[in-house]
Structure 1
Amino acid sequence: MGTELSVSTDERLSVLDVTDRVAEALPTDADGTATVFVPHTTAAVTVNEGESRLLGDIETGLSELVADEGWAHDRIDDNADAHLRSTLVGPSVTVPVSDGELAMGTWQSILFVECDGPRTRSLEVHVD
């Protein structure tokens, strides 16, 4: 069973807490695992703390790890940095689900990472 969510961003690189939106997409009787998948090569998803300063730190860290320019792929569409940043984070996370609720740790949140915005993206939630 799958649900597609739409996520919009305002910046080139941004991190958004999408935990509540993913939770709302779960069937009320779901038990098993939820896979949250980003079907884009310049966006990513991860699990970490959703504290606002940490979200900014993640953005800063990705910016500092990967230079904005100077990559061979930039000759095609000038977004190699976005591809590299999303590769570091990854396209999916798997989270346990119990009685229709995400079974995560107290401080864990599902974070959407936009690396080539601003854009509107798809985020898929599949429960097995």
Structure 2
Amino acid sequence: MVMVLKTVSRVVRVSTTDRFQLVNITREVESFVKESGVCNGLLVVSVPHATASIIVNENEPGLLQDIIEKVKWITEPGSSKWLHNSIDDNAHAHIGSALFGHERVFPINDCRILKGIWQDIFLLEMDGPRSERKIVLTILGE
């Protein structure tokens, strides 16, 4: 038996309004998976920017603010000494992206993303506001 895998991709664009911000993209991602027709495979959610990340966590307002505050706490101390800031004053965002990662991978089973009930998918903006952030969704499956 020969299994034929297909690849489906989409770019989602979002705008951000704050220097640090979490944007919930779960609905867009779930819609893409449903529309793809892929019922078993892998989904990659990636942000092709060096100053943003993709994270997964609970969509609770207090927790989201806690995450933002911790990201600032991790990336901003000593920012006056970051060498990259002599170019464009966003070394903290590059460091955050390097630490938190630009992508997440999810299994797809029974035509749905396998994730925890409390897990949502977020763009973590660390160098906003930005008029457009691209998020690349790619599925490989059957």
Q: Report the TM-score range of the alignment, normalised by the length of the smaller protein.
A: over 0.9
Indicate conservation of the 8 Å contact 1:28/1:101, yes or no.
no
Q: Percent identity?
A: 35
Aligned residue in 2 for 1:4: 11
TM-score between both structures, scaled by the size of structure 1: 0.94
Alignment of 1:19-30 (within 5 A): 19-26=26-33, 27-30=36-39
Measured after TM superposition, the shift of residue 29 of structure 1 is 3.5
Measured after TM superposition, the shift of residue 87 of structure 1 is 1.5
Aligned residue for 2:37, secondary structure, equals coil
Q: Does 1:126 align with 2:138?
A: yes
Structure 1 residue ranges (4+ consecutive) displaced by more than 3 angstroms after TM superposition: none
Aligned residue for 1:25, secondary structure, equals helix
Indicate conservation of the 8 Å contact 1:30/1:127, yes or no.
no
**Equivalent of 2:69, from 39, 60, 68?**
60
Aligned residue in 1 for 2:84: 73
CA distance in 2, matches of 1:114, 1:90: 12
Indicate conservation of the 8 Å contact 1:13/1:114, yes or no.
yes
Q: What RMSD in Å do the two structures reach over aligned CA positions?
A: 1.3
Paired residue total: 128
- Structure 1 or 2, whichever has the larger Rg, is 2
Indicate conservation of the 8 Å contact 1:16/1:55, yes or no.
no
Aligned residue in 1 for 2:4: none
What are the ranges of 5 or more consecutive residues in structure 2 without an aligned counterpart?
1-7
What are the ranges of 5 or more consecutive residues in structure 1 without an aligned counterpart?
none
